[in-house]
Amino acid sequence: MEATTAEALAKAQKKLKKAQAAGDEALIAKFEKKVKKLQKKAAEPQENGGAADMEAEAATSGKKRKKEQANGTPSGHANGHAASEDGEEEAAPKKSKKDKKDKSAANGHSTDTGAAGPAPLAEVGSVELARSGKPIKKDLYAKVHPEVGGMSVARMEEVRQERATTVEGRNGAATNTRFAPMLKFEHTGLPANVLHSTREFQAPSPIQSQCWPIILSGHDLIGIAATGSGKTLGFGLPMLAHITAQREAGVVGKGKGPYALVMAPTRELALQINQVLHDAGAKCGVRSVCVYGGVPKKEQVDALRRGVEIVVGTPGRLEDLMNDGVCVLSEVTYLVLDEADRMLDLGFEPHIRAICSKVRSDRQTLMFSATWPTAVQKLASNFLSRPVRVTIGSQDLAASHSITQHVEVIDPRARDDRLLALMNQYHSSRKNRCIIFVLYKKEAPRVEQLLQRRGWKCAAIHGDISQGQRTAAVEAFKAGTIPLLIATDVAARGLDIPDVEVVINYSFPLTTEDYVHRIGRTGRAGKSGIAHTFFCAVQDKPRAGELINVLREAGQKVPEDLLKFGTAVKKKESKLYGAHFKDVDVEAKATKVTFDSDDE
C-alpha cells in the first residue's frame, strides 16, 4: 500500500471520529463511505502478493497509528501494550483497573457509530491482512445436500411454521432455498470429526437446522431463541469448520491464535460453552480456553501463551487479558456474542465495544439473544454486516410452551411454609432435580439452611461464595448427588443442566425477562417442566402486566389474584438493569453504588 493511501486513510478515520463525537449523521455517513473505499484500496496490494509492502508500510506509519490510538482509533497492534493519552506506549499490566476503564472511555471504544454495518476498524483489517495476504474464507456451503436443495419454497415455509421459525433480513432471505432448514445432521456436509459431538442427538434442534445453512454460507447472523434451544452447537459446529477452512486456506497466520472468540455474560455460561466446544473440538485438533473473573489469571494466561484456536470468556476478564497483551485478538475471524441481551443488562457494552475494536473488521459475526429489545438491535447494527435474523418462537418476551407455569400471589411471610409444602409436592422422591431461585444473595444461605434443617439435601450458589464452591455445587447438581439447588440469578441464564423437572421462584426477579430465563432451566430439549412462582403484591405489582402477557402467550392459566393488579405494561426499564452505555454521561464523576444483590 502506498504511503499516500495510508495517510488518506488515517485522515479519513480521524475525521470520522470527530463526526461521531459531534453526532453529525451526514458527516458520519460520508466518512464511513470514504474509509471503506480506502480500506478496499489498501487491501488490493495484498491480493496481488504485496504483503511485504503492507508490513513495511505498517512500520513506516507507526507514529501516525499511535496518534490515532490516542484519539480513539483502534490499531490492531498486538504487542501487549496500550497507547497512553499522550501517544506514548506504556505497559498495560502497570495500569490499575480504574485506569483501564477510563482509557476505554477516553479512547472512544464505547462510542455508538450508528452505522448500518460493523464499526469502522480500518487499521485492524489492514494490519492483520498483511499477515496472510488472503481474505477470510467464509462460504463453506459449496455442496448443498439434495434433500435440502430440492426443498420448494412452500415446503420450506411449512417446515418453518411447524418449528415456529421465522427468517428475515437480506434480500429474499426468507425465500432463498439455499437457507432451507437442515433436518438431518448429514445435511450439513460437515466431516465426521466435526459431527462427532452430535452422535447422541436424533436430529438438529430448530435453531440449529435453520442457522447452519446461513452460517455455513458465510453470512452474519442474529439468532433469537430461548435458552436451552441448542445454540451452542448451533454456532459451535460451523466454528470448527470455519477454523479448519482458514488453516487450509492459509488465511490465519502461524501465531498462537485465537481464531474464534465467544463472549458470554456469566462465568457459568462461559464454562459450559467452553466444555461443549472443548469436547467437540477434540476430534478436530481445535483447542479452547475459558477466561473469566473470580479466579487467578495464571492458568488462563498459560493456556493462551501455549496457543489455542478458540477463546470463550466474560467481557471483563477478556478485556483485562487483552489490555495485558496476553490475549491477542488480531487473528480472530469468527466472533460470537451469546446472550447479548443479558450482557447489556449487566452493563458490559463498553467492554464489548473495546474487545470488538481489536478483532479484524472482515470477521464473520454471530449474535444470539433470548429477546430483541432496542438496545440489542442497536448493538447488532454496529457490529454485524447485513445479517440474516432467525427467530424461534415469538420475537416478543415469551416462555417455552413446554413449561407448565403456576403463579401464586402470596404474603412474603408465608413463603417459607409454602416452600416446604411444595418440596413435599414436587420433590417427594428427593432424587429429581429442582432449582429454587431467590433474588438477593442473602436469601440463598437462609433458604438453604431452612431446607437443610428439615432434612432436604441441597446446595446454594450466589455471589458471596468462591468460584470454586460455585463450580463444585453446579457439578454436584448436574451429577445428581445434590438434587436441589438454591440460586440467585447468577445461574439463571445459559446453564444447560439436563432433566431439571421443577423451578421454584421463591422471589420474583427484578425483570420479567429474568423470569423467563429462570423458568427456562426446565422444559429443555423437548421435555416438559414445571415452574411455580411466588408473586408478592407490594414489591412485584409493577411487573404484573408483563407477567400476565407471558402467561397468556404460553396458553397458561392467569390467577384471578394476579389480574387484580391490572394488565398495563409500563414502558420503563428497570433502574437496576438495562443501564446501557447510551444512558450514561461519560463526563460525570464516577460513584460506586452497591445493591444487596449479586455483584457479577
- 298-323 residue pLDDT tens: 999 999 999 999 999 999 999 999 99
Per-residue confidence (pLDDT) for residue 296, from 0 to 100: 93
**At residue 135, does pLDDT exceed 70?**
yes
Burial class (CB in 10 A: 0-12, 13-18, 19+), 4: exposed
220 vs 223, 335, 386, 486, 579, CA distance in Å? 10, 10, 7, 38, 27
Contact 533, 464 (CB under 8 A): no
- pLDDT band of 15, cuts 50, 70, 90: confident
- pLDDT band of 31, cuts 50, 70, 90: confident
CA angle 35, 40, 42 (to 5 degrees): 90
Closest CA to 499 of 516, 477, 515: 477
Length of the chain: 600
112 vs 20, 104, 374, 583, CA distance in Å? 8, 13, 14, 12
Q: Which domains, ranges and CATH numbers included, belong to the chain?
A: 1-395 (3.40.50.300), 403-563 (3.40.50.300)
Other C-beta atoms closer than 10 Å to the C-beta of 8 total: 17
Per-residue confidence (pLDDT) for residue 71, from 0 to 100: 44
> Average pLDDT, stretch 346-353?
94
Closest CA to 123 of 46, 69, 196: 69
Burial class (CB in 10 A: 0-12, 13-18, 19+), 295: middle
DSSP E strands: which ranges in 7-159?
Answer: 81-83, 89-91
366 vs 441, higher pLDDT: 366
- 507-521 residue pLDDT tens: 999 988 889 888 988
User: Average model confidence (pLDDT) for the chain?
Assistant: 80
Lowest-pLDDT range, 322-336, 381-395, 419-433?
381-395
Using CA atoms, how far apart are residues 489 and 441, in angstroms rounded to an integer?
A: 9
Per-residue confidence (pLDDT) for residue 21, from 0 to 100: 64
Other C-beta atoms closer than 10 Å to the C-beta of 520 total: 25
Burial class (CB in 10 A: 0-12, 13-18, 19+), 378: middle
Per-residue confidence (pLDDT) for residue 342, from 0 to 100: 87
What single letter denotes the amino acid at residue 401? H
Cβ partners under 8 Å of residue 421, min gap 6 = none
φ and ψ at residue 32, rounded to 5 degrees: -60, -40
**At residue 44, does pLDDT exceed 90?**
no
Per-residue confidence (pLDDT) for residue 154, from 0 to 100: 93
Per-residue confidence (pLDDT) for residue 195, from 0 to 100: 93
Percent of all residues in the chain with a pLDDT value above 90, rounded to a whole number: 53
Lowest-pLDDT range, 71-85, 235-249, 373-387?
71-85
Instruction: Read off the C-alpha cell for 559.
Output: 390467577
Within 13 Å and on the Cβ side, how many CA atoms surround 68? 26
Per-residue confidence (pLDDT) for residue 140, from 0 to 100: 94
Per-residue confidence (pLDDT) for residue 25, from 0 to 100: 63
DSSP E strands: which ranges in 314-454?
Answer: 334-337, 364-369, 388-392, 403-409, 433-437
> Average pLDDT, stretch 352-358?
96
> Average pLDDT, stretch 469-496?
84
**At residue 425, does pLDDT exceed 90?**
yes
Percent of all residues in the chain with a pLDDT value above 70, rounded to a whole number: 75
- 439-481 residue pLDDT tens: 998 999 999 999 999 999 999 998 888 888 988 998 999 899 9
- pLDDT band of 362, cuts 50, 70, 90: very high
* Partners of residue 366 on adjacent β-strands: 221, 336
1 vs 126, higher pLDDT: 1
**At residue 579, does pLDDT exceed 80?**
no
**Kind plus residue range of the DSSP H or E element containing 458:** strand 458-461
Using CA atoms, how far apart are residues 494 and 264, in angstroms rounded to an integer?
A: 9
Dihedral sign (CA 15, 20, 26, 32)? positive
- pLDDT band of 495, cuts 50, 70, 90: low
SS (H, E, C) 401-437: CCEEEEEEECCHHHHHHHHHHHHHHHCCCCCCEEEEE
- pLDDT band of 188, cuts 50, 70, 90: very high
- 79-93 residue pLDDT tens: 333 333 233 223 333
Lowest-pLDDT range, 39-48, 251-260, 554-563?
39-48
182 vs 464, higher pLDDT: 182
